[in-house]
Structure 1
Amino acid sequence: MNSIETKDRIDTLDYLRGFALLGIILINIVFLLSAQIPSPDTLDAAYWKFLYLFVEGRFYTIFSFLFGIGFYLFISRVNAKGKNGTILFLRRILVMFLFGLVHYSFHPGEALTVYAVSGLLVLPFYKLKKEINLTIGLLLLLLFGLLAIKPLLPVALILLGLTAGQYRLFEDLVAKRRKFWWCTGILFLLSLMVVFYHNKQAPSLSAEGTLEMYWFYHIGIMVGPIVSAFYVGLFILIIQIPIIQKLLSPLKYYGRMALTNYVLQTVLILFAGYGLDLLGKVSYLQSLFICLAILASQLIFSILWLHFFRFGPLEWVWRMVTYLEIPPLMLHKQEDK
């Protein structure tokens, strides 16, 4: 595989990470700001339903899958350099777990600790054949999805991400475009069916805490991976179109600093909640507008930061502790960014 194909593959994953972060903040802000429960038959209620039909559990799923791909790429590349990929990966997820513990004290729903533990559980699968990993991953996804055990879903998704790395799914995407169109078309039809069924089960907002609302949330977790897979397929296809790739290029920088931006989302949301005294005082729609302001500031920050530096701030610390060496941070002008 030549260097151009490698760069394109990495760029695609960075675009996807940025895309996933967009959806994650839409959900996190509602809970971190304790948004007011919408009144029935209002725009707020419509936005609440939109979040639970198309966002909740969909982007967290994508992020988990991407972590699995990153897991595979990291160990493979380290091994190729003659180093012990397993030891370095264990050190890497330990650092992630410590980041997560700090993050958890401010955001109890954070995912870094979950990914670290899940990565540890999936590590033994790295040496298994891809066919075995695919079978086990799909069975676990089906089991955890049907039972709606959200905390365990990342184990299955990370394993499937690792398997995607083994199958080299994100390499030479141009040659695989036809297959992606077919798969995405099928996923689109499946997504239409499951979202239609999910919408039919939506109870009144006054039913919060009832069995009907619990079932609605349960279905959302069950069908989430199908919708997430459709999002990934569609995004990969449209990002191959040059004009769209250029328009969405800020997402690449946003995704390259995924760890920093994920934690920074929490910082900015909590600043809005406590610093601006918005905690418990915003509606669902107002949370969307705050999201847009935060995302705009993060996108600009990511572009400017990576214009001068090789890594995001937390990515640099993560890399330093993983390799037990201080990597160069400044980006020289002659280097290819």
Structure 2
Amino acid sequence: MDNKTSYPEPCLEKQLKGHRNGITALYFSPNEQQIASGSLDNSVLLWDLRGTMRSYRFQGHDEAVMDVTFSPSGKYMASASRDKTVRLWVPTVTGSTGMFKAHSQTVRSVQFSSDGTKILTASDDKIVKLWSTDKHKFISSYVGHTNWVRCARISNDGSVIASCSDDKTTRLWSLDSGECIHTYKDQRGHGTYLAWHPSGCYVAVATSQGNVKLYDIRTHNLVQYYSIHNDAVNQVAIHPSGSYILTGSKDGKMKILDLLEGHPIYTLSGHSGSVNAVSFSTSGDYFASAGEDKLVFIWKTNFTEQGNEKENVAQNMSMVPRSASQISKTSSALKGRNQVVKKR
């Protein structure tokens, strides 16, 4: 490979074992010293990443935990469950600090707004809802989806909500007015997860067909399309620089996509079974993956080390990324510590 497209490969640093069933969600604390994981075993585990690898188990949900997140300050965690509730926790031995029934069916996703004052939820009851963090007071509903809502996320500036549903649409909503601004339709698969680009101009949508789509919310154009997995993409995470996307798939693989080059640069394997959750740390120096095998892997990112100039471009988003279609098969493999890293 030439220098332009060669990257230091990510390396697996830690494996965390403690859940009794498949893991559904991961989220780093803002200070990167802890990571929370949610599982089908009805619990949230909070792992200390500072050397001890000790974990605290938070129990209270009656059914599977579908999503977990930290507040921007790191003071609280929130978890969403099949038991139709959202629970708030203090991320210490203190534990539970509150619970509210958020929906009439499974709560699939939960997120704090960037100022920490609001909580966004999405559910199988087809509705997206906004709540106040303080006293968990209901603020508004976003109604229009005609099937389960898999994921809903607020843009960094707090003005727009994006949601994806089994009704094969991804919708943009005005947070304040509650109106649907735009609907992106997919003829084949449905969105399983989505993430905002740090610029606030793009939304990445993972699909049940093994694809990742990047939409420009200003023009509503599909600006990038990656057909990269052999089964559903369960989650996507965007690097804080805005230059890379990390995917986790039901096919047991993860991919790292270079958004400015417009193609995948790595395939990572190591998990047995579906990769259900992926997450970057706040700085982007680390990322985590987890899935059906009940294990959390912590990885050192590394591949950003040669991409500083590129990251500045991505930060400004002054160039529209080139679209990517069918990607050629992997060329070379690097094996190590229970994982395989493949260069594209």
TM (normalized to structure 1)?
0.25
Task: Return the structure number with greater helix share.
Answer: 1
Of the two, which has the highest radius of gyration? Answer: 1
- With a CA cutoff of 8 Å and minimum separation of 6, indicate the structure with the bigger relative contact order: 1
Task: Return the structure number with greater strand share.
Answer: 2
